[in-house]
């Protein structure tokens, strides 16, 4: 059988290139192995392999036949050729769209493609596949990969209902690193070593205080924050957000995306520490020194949350809303910002709750006292009214 489609990249080459500066002619990355193997040399002495290497994208974040399935004596590479080929092609378009996004245009297709790509990306890595094994109890390669394709929209509804920030590192000399598990999850109360973070586990994205970080490129970072937490971070951080159900429809408001937030170099070093701590084994960067962010900041997991580094600006938000959609022919439907329908007793609760609105106002006042009157990240309305920081 042909060797085509046997070199399987669990982090696509096009995505890796997002982290290589355009003026770099060698198009290579520095790759750091966080758990280097040991070996015995010719004299029988045990030595550790070099942790650092420099390589092109073809040999970075790739395992031969990771997605090859076998039945009897037959091999199939259709998953790599067809499924991942399609996901990556559309994912590339979506990542490029949101990398450039600044409220100049909207695209429902780009949104759907990004949600599909990110959900798939979170599951297709060695860490994601090990998580699937733990969740399903199935160890046969074909069974695990079958679950991967079936769950390719697993996180889409929850992420679509989050508050989105696109943070910018263009003014920082240091840029974002890329890990072997690029969709990174942070919860202030779930540091590495916490039961929910051991092995292949990540904190559940549906917990109030969970942020999802996804570098779009070396200079752009997408941060998802659950609306319940963005509007009131005085909740229990490891309790689930409202309506945590998966596999359902959701509403998305492009006008609420917060852009133009400029990160300091210290911010970028801290975010790179999070990415490195949540990697499974490998991280990569365009410069060697970026692989060691802990040398440049005094990193403390809980402090990232205490200092609200990842939080969107709450002054652009509202705790909840009810949306009514009209269709040709006169049919209507409704949904609130947490995806609940009118037949749900909690429908629109946050929009009408005096307690929720008071808590949100107090948080807005506290945020302003900490960060000043100018918007740290700006929605479409903030851009229009020139409230951008």
Asked whether the beta carbons of 74 and 68 are under 8 A apart, the reply is no
CA 126 to chain centre: 16
Q: What is the pLDDT of residues 217-236, one digit of tens each?
A: 999 999 999 999 999 999 99
CA distance 65 to 7: 6
Q: What is the pLDDT of residues 246-265, one digit of tens each?
A: 999 998 999 999 999 999 99
* Residue with more model confidence, 361 or 44: 361
Burial class (CB in 10 A: 0-12, 13-18, 19+), 332: exposed
pLDDT in the model for residue 107: 96
pLDDT in the model for residue 255: 94
- With a pLDDT cut of 90, the percent of the chain lying above it is 76
CA distance between the termini of the chain: 58
Half-sphere exposure of 358 (CA within 13 A, CB side): 3
Question: What is the overall mean pLDDT for the chain?
Answer: 92
Q: Is the pLDDT of residue 304 over 50?
A: yes
pLDDT in the model for residue 322: 86
Q: What is the pLDDT of residues 110-165, one digit of tens each?
A: 999 999 999 999 999 999 999 999 998 877 888 888 888 899 999 999 999 999 99
Q: What is the pLDDT of residues 8-53, one digit of tens each?
A: 999 999 999 999 998 887 889 999 999 998 777 777 777 788 999 9
The angle subtended at Cα 117 by Cα 112 and Cα 123, nearest 5°, is: 135
Q: Is the pLDDT of residue 1 over 50?
A: no
Q: Is the pLDDT of residue 289 over 70?
A: yes
Q: Is the pLDDT of residue 73 over 80?
A: no
Residue reference for tokens 């309305």: 381
- At residue 353, what are phi and psi to the nearest 5 degrees? -75, 120
Q: List the strands of the sheet with 163-168, edge to edge.
A: 184-187, 210-215, 220-225, 163-168, 258-262
pLDDT in the model for residue 3: 56
DSSP per residue, 199-226: TT----TTBTTEEEEEESSSSEEEEEE-
Give me the mean pLDDT over the 333-337 stretch.
Answer: 92
pLDDT in the model for residue 136: 86
């Amino acid at each position: 059988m042909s060797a085509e489609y046997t070199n399987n990249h669990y982090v696509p080459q096009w995505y890796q290139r997002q982290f290589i500066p355009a003026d770099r002619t060698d198009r290579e990355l520095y790759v750091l192995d966080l758990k280097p193997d040991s070996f015995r040399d010719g004299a029988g002495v045990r030595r550790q392999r070099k942790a650092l290497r420099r390589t092109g994208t073809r040999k970075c974040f790739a395992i031969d036949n990771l997605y090859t399935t076998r039945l009897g004596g037959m091999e199939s590479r259709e998953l790599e050729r067809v499924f991942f080929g399609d996901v990556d092609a559309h994912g590339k378009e979506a990542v490029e769209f949101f990398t450039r996004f600044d409220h100049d245009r909207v695209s429902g297709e780009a949104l759907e493609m990004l949600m599909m790509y990110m959900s798939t990306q979170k599951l297709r890595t060695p860490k994601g596949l090990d998580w699937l094994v733990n969740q399903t109890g199935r160890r046969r390669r074909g069974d695990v990969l079958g679950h991967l394709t079936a769950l390719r929209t697993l996180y889409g509804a929850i992420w679509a209902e989050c508050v989105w920030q696109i943070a910018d590192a263009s003014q920082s000399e240091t840029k974002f690193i890329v890990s072997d598990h690029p969709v990174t999850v942070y919860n202030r109360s779930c540091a590495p070593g916490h039961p929910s973070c051991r092995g292949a586990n990540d904190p559940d994205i549906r917990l109030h205080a969970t942020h999802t970080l996804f570098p779009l490129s070396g200079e752009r970072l997408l941060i998802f924050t659950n609306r319940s937490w963005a509007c009131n971070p005085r909740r229990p951080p490891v309790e689930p957000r409202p309506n945590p159900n998966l596999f359902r429809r959701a509403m998305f408001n492009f006008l609420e995306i917060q852009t133009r937030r400029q990160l300091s170099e210290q911010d970028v070093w801290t975010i790179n520490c999070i990415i490195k701590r949540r990697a499974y084994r490998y991280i990569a960067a365009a410069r060697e020194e970026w692989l060691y962010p802990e040398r440049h900041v005094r990193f403390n997991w809980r402090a990232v949350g205490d200092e609200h580094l990842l939080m969107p600006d709450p002054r652009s938000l509202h705790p909840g809303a009810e949306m009514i959609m009209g269709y040709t022919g006169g049919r209507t439907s409704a949904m609130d910002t947490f995806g609940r329908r009118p037949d749900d007793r909690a429908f629109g609760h946050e929009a009408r709750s005096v307690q929720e609105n008071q808590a949100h106002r107090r948080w807005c006042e506290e945020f302003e006292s900490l960060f000043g009157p100018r918007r740290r990240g700006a929605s479409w309305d903030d851009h229009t009214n020139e409230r951008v920081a």
